[in-house]
C-alpha cells in the first residue's frame, strides 16, 4: 500500500479527508 501514491490510497486509509490523509492515516489505523 505504501507503494501507491497518496491519491491512489484506498478510502479505508483516508476516510476523513484527502487533504489530511497523511497525519490522519496514522491516527485512523491506530484507532481501528
Confidence (pLDDT) at 11: 59
Would you mind telling me the total number of residues written for the chain in this entry?
A: 32
CA angle in degrees (0–180, nearest 5) for 30-10-16: 55
**What pLDDT score was predicted for residue 14?**
52
Using one digit for the tens of pLDDT, what is the confidence trace for 1-32? 566 566 655 655 555 555 555 665 666 655 55
Predicted pLDDT of residue 7? 66
Q: How far apart are CA 32 and CA 19, in angstroms?
A: 20
Determine the pLDDT at residue 5. Answer: 64
Distance CA 13, CA 10 (A): 6
**Beta-carbon-side half-sphere exposure of residue 6 (alpha carbons within 13 Å):** 9
Distances (CA, A) of 27 to 4, 14, 20, 31: 19, 10, 11, 6
Amino acid at each position: 500500500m505504501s507503494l501507491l501514491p497518496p491519491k491512489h490510497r484506498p478510502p479505508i486509509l483516508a476516510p476523513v479527508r484527502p487533504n489530511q490523509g497523511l497525519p490522519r492515516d496514522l491516527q485512523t489505523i491506530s484507532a481501528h
